[in-house]
Structure formats: structure tokens, C-alpha cells
Amino acid sequence: MRLVTTPRVTFLRALADEIFQHHGHGRVIVAIDGPLHSGKTAFGDDLAAVFRERELAVFRASIEGFHRSRAAQAAFGADTPARYYAHGFDESALRRVLVEPFRLGGSTAFVTRVYDPTRDAWVEPKWLTGPHDAILVLDGRFVLRDRLAGLWDFRIALDGDPVDPADQLAYADGDPRTAASAVVDNSDPEHPRRRFFDSC
């Protein structure tokens, strides 16, 4: 289904074109990082909609669906921004039930969400499969950190300086903009624009 053409959709179509120039076939994972409240989820949703215009198999996930439970986080000490940054998400589950099986392709099933942080409760896993050519759009905090950045085919960082303490720790450890394939100024969501750094 063709989307209504707006400046945002036009920008996202151009970004999708760039992704396809580099990753036109097979299983492709696009990851979106950025500071708290930078619009990562909406950006991911809209980018996925642009991919679907091309009649592609597109799957959506968020790192929020791979939170550790509050009890599991408590095993790592007091509730601090440092603990949240280091241990807030179950990266092992992210790799095991989403990234690795998605990469295998074929009939291998994968899960895009295992936890609901709002309810602090596990969710019934919904196992999905897809065709050989498929795109996974993943958004969330810290997804471009050093130990995860290599998992993604195309890395998008929404521009902005961190104000939340956990984000400040993350950016001090490794600014996602330096790991990104594309940096996007999303401060005006209706008119996003590229920012260019030496790294991208």
C-alpha cells in the first residue's frame, strides 16, 4: 500500500534506498538508537511502513521487549543508572531467540518480544517465520553499544545529546553516532534530515 507522500516519508524512502544499495537481498537487520525520547520507536515504525510499500516481509522489534525483570536486575545491585545501562536488558535472549534465528532464515522461527516491562511480566512468545528476503527493524536504547553494534547490517542513530543519566553513561562509553551508518536529526519529526560526521 502506497503511503501518502510527506517530507518525512520522502526522507525515509531515500534512507530505504540507501539501505537497499548495500543490503538488497537476504535477511537484513536495521537498528535505531538515540537518546531517551528521541522518537526511536515512531521512526522505526515509519521506516518499516516504507519498506512494506515495496511489498517486503518486514518485522518490528524493540529492545524494550527484551527487558530483564526487576527481580533479575536486582541481582546486579542497587537500582542505579549504571545498573540499568549495564544490566537492564537481556542481551542473551535478544541474540538467542531473535537475532540468531532470524539470521538463519528458512523455516527457523524467531521471537520479537519476550517481556513486558510495564507489567514487569513475561509474555507468551509468538514464534514467527519469514521468507529468505526479509527485514527486521529494531529500535531501542543502547542497541549501538560496542558489544551489539556488530550484529546489525545498517545502524541509525537519532541525533541529540543525552540528558538521562543512563544515556549519559552510554554516550560516555561510546557515542552511537560514531557507530552509525546514518545519523538523523529527528528534532522536527515531520522534517527529519541527515547529519554527516566523519564516521558516516
Q: pLDDT by residue (tens digit) across 80-134? A: 999 999 999 999 999 999 999 999 988 899 999 999 999 999 999 999 999 999 9
φ, ψ for residue 79 (rounded to 5)? Answer: -75, 100
In a domain, 82, yes or no: yes
Q: Is residue 5 part of a domain?
A: no
Q: Is residue 140 part of a domain?
A: yes
Average of pLDDT values for 14-25?
92
Reply yes or no on whether the pLDDT at 198 is more than 70.
no
Residue 157, pLDDT above cutoff 60 = yes
Domain span at 141: 25-194
> What is d(CA 101, CA 58) in angstroms, rounded to the nearest whole number?
15
Let me know if residue 73 belongs to a domain.
yes
Give me 92's grid cell.
542473551
Q: What confidence score (pLDDT) does residue 114 get?
A: 97
Q: What is the mean pLDDT of the chain?
A: 95
* pTM (two decimals): 0.94
Q: Tally the domains of the chain.
A: 1
